[in-house]
A = this chain, B = another copy of it.
Amino acid sequence: MNYFNMSVSELESAEKELLKEYENVKAKGLKIDMTRGKPCKEQLDLSEDMLKVITCNADCYTDYGFDCRNYGLVDGLDYAKKIFSEIIGVPWNQIIVGGNSSLNLMYDAVARYMLYGVANVNKPWVKLEKVKFLCPVPGYDRHFAICESLGIEMVNVPLLSDGPDMDIVEELIKDESVKGMWCVPKYSNPTGTTYSPEVIKRIASMKPAANDFRLFWDNAYAIHDIYDEGDTLVDILPECEKYSNGDMPLIFMSTSKITYPGSGVSALGASRTNIDHIKSIMQKQTIGHDKMNMWRHVRYFKTADGMREYMKKHAEILRPKFEICLKLLGENLADKGIAEWTNPKGGYFISLNVYKGCAKKTVSLAKDIGVVLTDAGATYPYHNDPNDANIRIAPSFPPISDLEEGMKVLCLCVKLAVVQKLIEEKK
C-alpha cells in the first residue's frame, strides 16, 4: 500500500510494526559492510593465473627483448597501451599507462593543471580567482573529493537517464571559470547510467568559454557488463575531434575491477597535444610506472578481446548480487510510492532515491542495526544532497547471504524513515 495515501493513525500503526521488526533485526547483531564498490573474494580469485605468468628472470622480457624490470618508459609498455587503446577508443600511441590507480592519474591530472595549466595555454589554474567543475549528480565521491581538496568549486548538474542535463551544461560553460566536468560515461557511479549517443554528441560539440576546459572522462566501467547484452558507449575522442574539440577529453580507465583493485594497471588516453604535455611534466615526477605489472597483465590477457571475454566471469559473480538487490527492492518498496531505483546492466552500483529528506535517516537507522551503507550525501559534492534522497547500493562485496540480509534491512529502514517523516509532516 502507498504510504502517501495513509492517515496518521494508519502510519502510526505501520510504524509500530516496522519498529518491532527493527528490534528483531537489531537482536541478530548483524555486521554487514555495503559501503564501497569493492570486488569480492571470488572475483579476486579469478585472476589467479596472472600470478603465474612472471615467475623467473626470463619471463621479465617482452617479445622484443625489452627488460621490464629496469628503469624507463615513462608512458609504459606499448603492449599495454594497445590493449587499453581498443577499450577506450584512443590511438595506442596516445596513451600513458600508469600505476595501480586511475584515481591517482585523475588527481595528478587536475593537480597538474592547477600548477602548470593545460597544454598551450599554460595558465596555472591555481593563479585564477575561481575554478569551477561541473559535477553530474549523483556521482562519484572520490571525484568530488579531488575538487574539494584542491579548492575547485563544484556545480551540480542533474544526471538524467541518458547522461548529464545538457541544456544546463551548455548554459554553465558560458562561464569562463568553468574549467572541467567529471563524467563516468558508462554505468555511471552510482546510477548505472550510460550516456546516449545524442548526449555524447552534445558533450563533444560543446563550446566552453574557457579555452582551457577539460573533460575528465572516467571510463571506469568500460567493459563491466553484467549481462551478455551490455550498454554501448560512443568513443569520446573521435567524437570530440569531429567538432575540433580533440584536446577536450582526458580518458581514464584501469584494471582495478578487472584484476586487482589494489594492484591493477591504469591508463590515460587523450589527444597527442595533451599526452605530450602531460608526459613532459610527468617525466619530472617519475622515471616510469611499474612495467612488470603491466607485462603481467599483458601476458595474462594478451588482447583486449581476451580481457573482454574474461569479464564474463565477473558478470557471473555480480549478476546474482545485482538481481537479489533489485528483487528485494521490488518486493519491499515497489508499492509504497516512497522510493525509486535504477536497474543497471553493468558497473558496480544501484542508485536508490528515497522520499525527500529520508536518506540520512535511513542510512543511520541501518547502521545502528549493523548494516553499513555508503554515507548518504556521499554521491553529491560537499556531501550535500539537496534532497537528502540518494543512497548508493554497492552489491559486489558481501556474500549473497549477507547481501540479502543487508538489503532487507535497508528496505526496512527506508520504510521506517519515510513513515516517521510522513507522520511528522502530517501532524
Are the C-beta atoms of A287 and B54 separated by less than 8 Å?
no
Bound-state Cα–Cα, A351 to B292, Å: 32
Are the C-beta atoms of B52 and A67 separated by less than 8 Å?
no
A156 within 8 A of B: no
Bound-state Cα–Cα, A111 to B281, Å: 12
Partner of A114, one of B36, B115, B289, B291: B115
Are the C-beta atoms of B262 and A39 separated by less than 8 Å?
no
Are the C-beta atoms of A48 and B56 separated by less than 8 Å?
yes
A5 within 8 A of B: no
What number of copies of this chain does the assembly contain? Answer: 2
A225 within 8 A of B: no
Are the C-beta atoms of A290 and B100 separated by less than 8 Å?
yes
A57 within 8 A of B: yes
Which stretch (A79-87, A142-150, A209-217, A358-366) binds chain B? Answer: A142-150
Bound-state Cα–Cα, A103 to B74, Å: 13
A20 within 8 A of B: no
Q: A55-B55, A290-B293 are in contact. Are A261 and B103 (CB under 8 A)?
A: no
Closest residue of B by beta carbon distance from A41: B67
Residues from chain B with a CB closer than 8 A to the CB of A312 are: none
Are the C-beta atoms of A290 and B290 separated by less than 8 Å?
yes
Interface residues on A, range: 35 or more
Tell me the smallest distance from the CB of A280 to a CB of chain B, in Å: 9
For A155-190 the 0/1 string (1 means CB < 8 A from B) is 000000000000000000000000000000000000
Partner of A289, one of B44, B100, B107, B284: B100
Bound-state Cα–Cα, A99 to B266, Å: 13
Bound-state Cα–Cα, A95 to B69, Å: 25
A233 within 8 A of B: no
A425 within 8 A of B: no
Are the C-beta atoms of A44 and B69 separated by less than 8 Å?
yes
Are the C-beta atoms of A287 and B103 separated by less than 8 Å?
yes
Closest residue of B by beta carbon distance from A281: B149
For A108-120 the 0/1 string (1 means CB < 8 A from B) is 1001001100000
Q: A100-B99, A289-B100 are in contact. Are A68 and B284 (CB under 8 A)?
A: no
A387 within 8 A of B: no
A72 within 8 A of B: yes
Residues from chain B with a CB closer than 8 A to the CB of A289 are: 99-101, 262
A384 within 8 A of B: no
A22 within 8 A of B: no
In the complex, besides A36-B71, A51-B56, A262-B287, 9 extra interface pairs with C-beta distance below 8 angstroms are: A44-B70, A52-B55, A68-B263, A69-B261, A71-B256, A71-B262, A104-B285, A111-B285, A148-B284
A-B pairs with beta carbons under 8 Å apart, 5 shown: A71-B256, A103-B286, A111-B115, A115-B115, A126-B126
Q: Which 4 A-B pairs have the closest CB atoms?
A: A263-B292, A107-B285, A149-B284, A71-B261
